[in-house]
Amino acid sequence: MDGLGRRLRASLRRKRGRGGSLQEREAVKEPERAQEISLPTFAGGQHFFEYLLVVSLKRKSSGDDYEPIIIYQFPKRENLLRGQQEEEERLLGAIPLFCFPDGNAWAPLTEYPRETFSFVLTNVDGSRKIGYCRRLLPAGRGPRLPKVYCIISCIGCFGLFSKILDEVEKRHQISMAVIYPFMQGLREAAFPAPGKTVTLKSFIPDSGTEFISLTRPLDSHLEHVDFSVLLRCLSFEQILQIFASAVLERRIIFLAEGLSTLSQCIHAAAALLYPFSWAHTYIPVVPESLLDTVCCPTPFMVGVQMRFQQQVMDSPMEEEGPKIPGNFLKVGLRAVVHKVVVLLVNLCEGTFLMSVGDEKDILPPKLQDDILDSLGQGTNESQTSEQLNEHVSGPFVQFFVKTVGHYASYIKREANGQGHFQERAFYKALTSKTNRRFVKKFVKTQLFSLFIQEAEKSRNPPAGYFQRKILEYEEQKKQKKSREKTVK
């Protein structure tokens, strides 16, 4: 793995003529610790963001191609230590590539549909930063190139940052100078706790003083996701098969043309794993110049634009068994798809272009039926985003409650409080043979291992949404037993 990683990084440096970015390192390494796709649950008081950047396209000195560059940055950091400066340079060097992942073949346009999307950058220590992007055609006449407003934050709250981007876009139509006081006020404000609101006062020329309210959802474990796009692209049965593949940490590639569709669907798919976190390579939108990174032979969840589908399907391929060929970097995605376990999802057509074939058999049949029954009940257009998120996420949370919700009873503690998980007794406690068969596989995944490692360190189960659902389920079982005794 180390050798492959070095070769991938060298290949990418040759392509881009610069050192590896944060995302390049993330794409080729196997993390040693949990990396929250659901992102940390912030209690409030954090800074909203680290940077606001404007990224535009500049014609290369040779040829007609364009390259993305940062043309505006707030705040400008000064007097940084050497290590901090190097870290900032790596971060800022990676961002333009993810604001324009479509490649360099751009031309001035008179019309362009605005897009809101996000990307994730993972540092070597496993910490993650999110880029919230609004890409649009700037005001003006005649052909012009799109630009991207990008907010970098360590906080996952997509609805809230989308509203902030609306405000940034509105001010930029007046003047860049109007953006500064708004973002300064936002930077000085404390990120609100779940269910709370922060109100910013902002002056706009010719409009006067405005008050902007930013509210966090009360249920913060889903504030980083919107399931509506995933539901528009795929059926409940297909979503269930993607969930099953992710639970066993297989490789999943999503295809779509729209950046917003790709980023929202991959975030939604990863969010179905709550309370577990995908701890492997995770790239919501893979830039063209980094397509080789998905040749990593470890689990990944990535999004690729549809314009690169032919590149995915027609890449040369070795036919000799599962070993990694010597020219692995040149083999491309098709070799990965055929040599290892991959689910290739076409979000535009709502189809699986490639699959292993056993996706419907991974989860216990009874629990699959329970999930599908719950998903099929009560979805309607009058639901708010929060209600829809809860409706979709709830059955998957309940799945984990029923299969592994008893984990805390099988962590035995020493006098010093250190816990030790009793794996065999844990899965043998399940009375259903199909549930037990599934759990015996699931406990071997990194998803479960990282979750249990954290539980072993903590003297008490975390007082979060998952624990609340476990307690509700246990109470329901007690009441059912009580009723059965009364009938007898």
Give the DSSP H/E element, type plus range, for residue 352.
Answer: strand 351-354
Span 449-476, average pLDDT: 88
| Same structural domain, 236 and 300 | yes
Q: Are 200 and 280 members of one domain?
A: no
162 in a structural domain: yes
Considering 120-124, 179-183, 443-447, 455-459, the range whose residues carry the highest mean pLDDT is: 443-447
> Which of 154-168, 186-200, 314-328, 391-405 has the highest average model confidence (pLDDT)?
391-405
Q: State the Cα torsion 428-430-435-441 to the nearest 10°.
A: -30
| Together in a domain, 413 and 270 | no
Of 371, 398, 423, at which residue does a domain stop?
371
- The per-residue pLDDT for range 136-162, each reduced to its tens digit, is 998 888 999 999 999 999 888 888 899
Whether residue 34 lies inside any domain: the answer is no
* pLDDT bucket at 382, cuts 50 / 70 / 90: low
Q: Are residues 133 and 68 in the same domain?
A: yes
Output 382 or 203, whichever has higher pLDDT: 203
Same domain for 198 and 245, yes or no, is no
Q: pLDDT tens across 305-316, in order?
A: 998 887 766 553
> In which domain, by residue range, is 341 found?
228-371
Range with the lowest mean pLDDT among 9-18, 136-145, 394-403? Answer: 9-18
Q: Which of 167, 190, 222 is the last residue of a domain?
A: 222
CATH number for the domain spanning 207: value is 3.30.450.200
Residue 174 has pLDDT above 80, yes or no: yes
Whether 16 is covered by a domain: the verdict is no
The first and second tokens of residue 21, run together, are: 């970015």
DSSP state of 410: G
Residue range 36-81, pLDDT digits in tens? 333 444 444 578 899 999 999 998 887 778 999 999 998 887 777 8
Task: Give the chain's domain count.
Answer: 3
For the cut 90, the answer to whether the pLDDT of residue 327 exceeds it is no
Instruction: Please indicate, yes or no, if residue 359 is contained in any of the structural domains.
Output: yes
Residue 9 belongs to some domain of the structure: no
pLDDT at 393 over 80: yes
Beta strand 251-256 pairing with 342-346: parallel
Domain membership of residue 378 (yes or no) is no
CA–CA distance from 478 to each of 472, 475, 481 (Å)?
A: 10, 5, 5
**Do residues 81 and 205 share a domain?**
yes
Q: What average pLDDT score do residues 272-291 get?
A: 89
Give the CATH number for residue 354: 3.40.50.11500
Across the range 24-34, mean pLDDT stands at: 33
Residue 194 binned pLDDT confidence (cut-offs 50, 70, 90): confident
> How far, in Å, CA of 231 to CA of 229, rounded?
5
- Say if residue 120 is in the same domain as residue 54: yes
Q: Per the confidence metrics, is the pTM higher than 0.85?
A: no
Same domain for 211 and 250, yes or no, is no
Same domain for 298 and 427, yes or no, is: no
35-49, 87-101, 158-172, 243-257: segment of lowest average pLDDT: 35-49
Q: Are 100 and 133 in a shared domain?
A: yes
In tens, the pLDDT along 117-127 reads 999 887 766 67
CB–CB of 187/75 below 8 Å? yes
Residue 440 falls inside a structural domain: yes
Domain boundary among 193, 222, 251: 222
434 and 418 together in one domain: yes
Judge whether 151 lies within some domain: yes
Please state, rounded to an integer, the average pLDDT across all residues of the chain: 81
Query: Does 469 share its domain with 360?
Result: no
